[in-house]
Amino acid sequence: MTFSVSMYKRTMSLLDIPSGVFKSNFFRPRREKDKVVILLGATGTGKSRLSIDLATRFPAEIINSDKIQLHAGLDIATNKIPEEERCGIPHHLLGVIHPKADFTATDFVGMALDAMASILSRSQVPIIAGGSNSYIEALVDDEDFLFRSKYECCFLCVEVAMPVLDQYVSDRVDKMVEMGMVDEVRKFFDANANYTVGIRKAIGVPEFDRYFRAEPFLNKRERDELLQEAIQEIKRNTRKLARRQLEKIQRLINKKNWQIQTVDATEVFLRRGKEADEAWEKLVAGPSTEIVAEFLYNFSSETLVNNPSIRVPSLPCGIML
């Protein structure tokens, strides 16, 4: 189901759900099966931001499902959300695996189930967010654990038009370079490294290999040219990753019949500053809050509209895309 933006516009004047409003005992989720919210989307679409927005509005904690961000280290290159932007929300499976560890989907399933059990024991809702759809699929369709017989899932996907996303992820790579990604990866460089294992599989690591090997022997012009080649390769590989992720999500819909609801963030990425934040709230965070509220508490949009005491802030946490 795709949320109707026109319906949301009609509710905006009344709908305002501040951080923590659903954290009171009155708003505890109904318990038939334990409930899990799973956020999907291509790299760069804002899954981390949305997970925090939702976790500040509901009794929830976040489980990372990005296979690269599971590893410790290279925080810039792997685009881990900084501590100061997490709004105090507990994050599980983020930077907890040794950088050289060969971590598998099966390993993820075991650790994710443990994290979910811990979160649920505190009467919190697990929000699973990340771009590794193969890990999420392994968890949800696990035949041994029978995940679906024990948990009810709300699948929510953030979409951005591909030309817009292409430009955004390219700009994001430039920003990561400005933040010090080259020096970060240089410190991690090993001429004998295996780029098929651990965190070195991350986009932004193997692309620099040729540059770091040649760097000591080149003049400044040659170094700059080779560096730009590496950066452009990172951008190309990131765009390819986004397409693969979208193909996998489409397969989950078409082949596995996953019922995935979508919100379109394209307009957010076409705006800047306050206008972008307002668009995010109107088109992404607000509609997603309604979807999750209905999933957890059986609230319909009509229920929310008819309750003027429930209000949504325009800028819930100030997370940046």
pLDDT of res. 31:
56
Query: Is the pLDDT higher at 302 or at 129?
Result: 129
Q: Which one-letter DSSP state was computed for residue 104?
A: -
Reported confidence tier of residue 83, pLDDT bands at 50, 70, 90: very high
E strands, the chain, are 34-41, 60-64, 91-92, 125-129, 151-159, 260-264
The tokens for 253 are 């819909």
The secondary structure of 205-253 as a DSSP string is SGGGHHHHHHGGGS-HHHHHHHHHHHHHHHHHHHHHHHHHHHHHHHHHH
Contact 265, 160 (CB under 8 A): yes
pLDDT above 90: percentage of residues in the chain: 80
Strand partners, 43: none
Domains of the chain: 5-165+237-305 (3.40.50.300)
Q: What is the mean pLDDT of the chain?
A: 88
Can you tell me which residue has the tokens 């508490």? 297
Q: Tell me the per-residue pLDDT of 145-201, one tens digit each, with 9 for 90 and over.
A: 889 999 999 999 999 999 999 999 999 999 999 999 999 999 999 999 999 999 999
Provide mean pLDDT across the span 278-291.
97
Q: How far apart are the first and last CA of the chain?
A: 25
